[in-house]
Amino acid sequence: MGAGISNSISMSISTAGRSRGQVITMQGHHRGRGVRPRGAHAPFGRGPARLIRTTITAVLLAVVSLTGVAGTAAAGTSGPGSDAKLPTGLVAPGPGTPEVVPSNLVTDRTWDKETASLTDFTRNINDSRAKITARTDVGIRAAAAAGVINLANSTCWDEHAWNPTSDHPLGKGCDLFFAYKTSEGRAAGWRAANWFVANQAKLGVYYLIWQGRFWGAYAPKAWTDYQSSVYGCPNPANVTGCHYDHIHVSFY
């Protein structure tokens, strides 16, 4: 279990009956994934101790449940994002079937160009460059509100010095990590990817990459193999570069 999970268990103990602790954090962008349990040490007895024991049990069950769908990477939110109103009439999340493209999908490619002007709330770093566009802010907050992503496993701005064409330093691209080694984690990733596709016209989604596959608003009929000379894709052995462990979403 990562340090953030242990901290969350402690937080849950101290706030039993008042709030729920965050139980999944990101541990290193583009590094090894995995959540390993670490024991929580506390004497158990009667009365208040029973409440503590019940709280710890609930938290650990939540960890077991969430690790099936949420991956790990480095970041940590620095706040809730802007207070800009989220779009109404968004399509609700569906099942985690791979590569769902609605037959009646209507895409919108007429979005105005935006520059990164808002602090990237998915990063908790001291870097004045860490900014995202208003469209990215809304899109990621909408995805979190819909329950298809975990903000603690999401990161947007990054320098990406090795890839000068990346949308990350422009504040237009985000990486959303999932437990790709499990069928539940892969299904959760497809659920999120399908949700972004279905809501492209509302959110200004430009393109998506997930599980070595690519979808673009400019060619919306079907997913195709992700091709990249920078990362040598397609190549299932390149888990992160070819996007098997995380969704990349770019916004116009």
Residue 245 has φ and ψ, to the nearest 5°, of: -100, -5
- pLDDT tens, position by position, 169-188: 999 999 999 999 999 999 99
The count of other CB atoms within 10 Å of the CB of residue 129 is 12
Cβ atoms of 149 and 192 within 8 Å: the answer is yes
Cβ atoms of 90 and 199 within 8 Å: the answer is yes
Evaluate if residue 142 carries a pLDDT over 70. yes
Which residues are within 8 A (CB) of 100 and not within 5 positions of it... i.e. 6 or more apart? 94, 190, 194, 197, 198
Domain boundaries, the chain: 3-66, 118-251
Residue 198 has φ and ψ, to the nearest 5°, of: -60, -25
Question: What is the residue type of 22?
Answer: Q
Q: What is the CA radius of gyration of the chain?
A: 19
Q: Residue 187 is encoded by which pair of tokens?
A: 């299904």
Global pTM value? 0.71
The secondary structure of residue 145, as a DSSP letter, is: H
Distance CA 16, CA 251 (A): 40
Evaluate if residue 205 carries a pLDDT over 60. yes
Q: What average pLDDT does the segment 122-146 reach? A: 97
